[in-house]
Structure 1
Amino acid sequence: MEEIRQFNEPQVQEPMVADLAQEEQVAFYRKTYGHVAGAVLLFIAVEAIFFQIPAIVNFAFSLAEGWTWLLLLGGFMFATSKAESMAMGTTDRNTQYAALVLYVVAEAFIFIPLIGIALYVAGEGAAELLNQAAIITLSLFSGLTAAVLLTKKDFSFLKTGLTIGFFIALGLIIAGTLFGFDLGLWFSVGMIVLAAGSILYQTSQMVHKYKQEQYVAASLGLFGALMLLFWYVLSILSSD
């Protein structure tokens, strides 16, 4: 009888972050953004290590042209999907950290050609260029996330538009790669708009769709949106 009674007892659902007490929300946000900062530092460290290994740099550049670039994008998308499913599909903290590390390493690898080109274009001003891109990216990211946290607005409605936008962007990238035309400045501007929308959406998801112990998974989504924004900010600055 005891077993039947336990079986019939309703399970207590863990509350979403938006339903927590203010102190618990603050603690969740602190953990999430702390992990985003940690992911950024890990990205910088891994990127620096990659650039010290010529074989990795040459391999990354060899994939940056023609149809092999599509293979690289496909591999990156697979790694991204795998990392997100790993982080969201388990409550095991070690698995979530493994997913975050996998995602950071994948980001660091795909950034090699872009950062390499930026370093070549900027020459002696390379450090200043990277700092400018980082400052612009962090300023936009901070402003967008602050807007969500202060207003508590749910931006879930952006999901459909973002999905359509990213599929259109992917189609343009594939067409540009296959037919050899430059997507140009306005494509990068459009991608920055998409990245901004993604930051609003991911921050909103963190508030309204994540539970108290999912801060590692929440940080992965925010880090991905942050790096997408950084990619196209750096692309624009490198093209000047």
Structure 2
Amino acid sequence: MNSNVLVAHSTDVEKAEFYKKTYLHVAISLLAFIGVETVLLNVVPPEIIGLMFAQKYTWLLVIGVFWLASFLAQKWSLSQSKAAQYMGLGFYILLEAIIFLPLIYIAVAQTGGGDVIFQAATLTIAMFAGISAVAFTSKRDFSFLRSIIVMGGFIALGLIVAGMIFGINLGLWFSVGMVLLASITILYQTSKLKDSYATDQYVGAALQLFSSIMLLFWYILRILMSRRS
């Protein structure tokens, strides 16, 4: 198999192999996230977890470091070196586990168990599967969604930063909007997999989808938590 060929220009067998490897790595990433998150919850003291959201500027710093590190992870995941690709994906999984740590901790403490987390995870996977099915079966061109995603991302980031600095609670409707943005992003990314990656870049493709799934999961979990508070 010519590993430098764009997926869109590859054979049907090569396309099937690329998609199989991509979604296998997405599944492995999700399982790895669960494992790392479980370890962190049992190892990191509650006092340290509390520091991540107790001070608004501390959390802002964490977000800033996360964005910079995410860029590095994305770059590694698209490297020609398989070792670098897996290093990027593994690094990103660790980052996501750290960022999710305070939210998961609060969710468990709030509900006295993992029921709300399981519900959020189930909804997330169901939505991801449904959106992916639409992207693969629809013959529409979803390129127009890119400008919506970029604009929505900048607006969301601005609101998040402003909310942290000025202590503004963005509320339920912001979370609903972010669920919509994450869903649109998954639809766009899935539809453009064949045009954005070579057949040997399934690790990078998996990282992109994994990041959008985690964004969707974050805000679905926040919505479910707000209904129980």
Q: TM-score, normalised by structure 1?
A: 0.89
Alignment partner, residue 96 of structure 1 = 85
The answer (yes or no) to whether the contact 2:120–2:220 under 8 Å persists in 1 is: yes
Question: Is 1:151 aligned to 2:141, yes or no?
Answer: no
- Give the 5 Å matches for 1:11-50: 14-50=4-40
Cα distance change of structure 1 residues 115 and 102 upon mapping to structure 2, 3 Å threshold: same
**What is the CA deviation profile of residues 190-232 of structure 1, one whole-angstrom value per residue up to 9, with x for unaligned ones?**
0001100110122123122111111001000000000000000
Residue type of the partner of 1:67? Answer: Y
Q: Judge conservation of contact 1:152–1:204 (CA < 8 Å) in 2.
A: no
Partner of 1:72: 62
Identity %: 44
* Structure 1: gaps of 5 or more residues: 1-11
| 1:52 counterpart SS class | helix
Q: For residue 51 of structure 2, what is the amino acid of its counterpart?
A: S
For the residues of structure 1 that align with 2:109 and 2:3, how far apart are their CA atoms?
53
Displacement of 1:152: 5.0
User: Could you tell me how far apart the structure 1 residues matched to 2:83 and 2:32 are?
Assistant: 17
In the TM superposition, 1:60-139 aligns within 5 A as: 60-64=49-53, 65-88=55-78, 90-123=79-112, 126-139=113-126
1:86/1:96 contact within 8 Å kept: yes
Post-superposition CA distance 1:26-81 (Å, at most 9, x none): 111110000000000100000011011134x5334302131111101101111111
Using the TM superposition, give the Cα deviation of residue 162 of structure 1 relative to its aligned residue in structure 2, in angstroms: 0.9
CA contact (8 A) 2:142 2:188 kept: yes
CA contact (8 A) 1:129 1:237 kept: yes
Q: Report the alpha carbon displacement of residue 153 of structure 1 after superposing the two structures with TM.
A: 4.0
Q: Give the drift of 1:181.
A: 1.7
Alignment RMSD (CA, Å):
1.6
Moved more, 66-75 or 154-163: 154-163
For 1:202, the equivalent position in structure 2 comes to 189
**Does the CA contact (< 8 Å) of 2:4 and 2:200 recur in 1?**
no
Please tell me whether Structure 1 or Structure 2 has the larger radius of gyration of its CA atoms: 1
Aligned to 1:168: 155
Q: Name the residue aligned to 1:5.
A: none
Mapped partners of 2:175, 2:129: distance in 1: 20
C-alpha distance in 2, partners of 1:42/1:13? 26
**AA at the equivalent of 1:104:** I
1:127 Cα deviation from its structure 2 partner: 2.2
| Residue 118 of structure 1, CA deviation | 0.7
Separation (CA, whole Å) in 2 of partners of 1:211 and 1:153: 22
Quote how far apart the aligned CAs of 1:147 are.
Answer: 1.1
Deviation digits for residues 89-130 of structure 1 (CA, Å, limit 9, x no counterpart): x2111100000000000000000111111111111xx32211
Structure 1: distance between partners of 2:126 and 2:57: 35
Amino acid at match of 1:143: G
Letter in 1 for 2:115: E
Q: How many residues align?
A: 225
Q: Which amino acid aligns with 1:183?
A: L
Amino acid across the alignment from 2:94: V
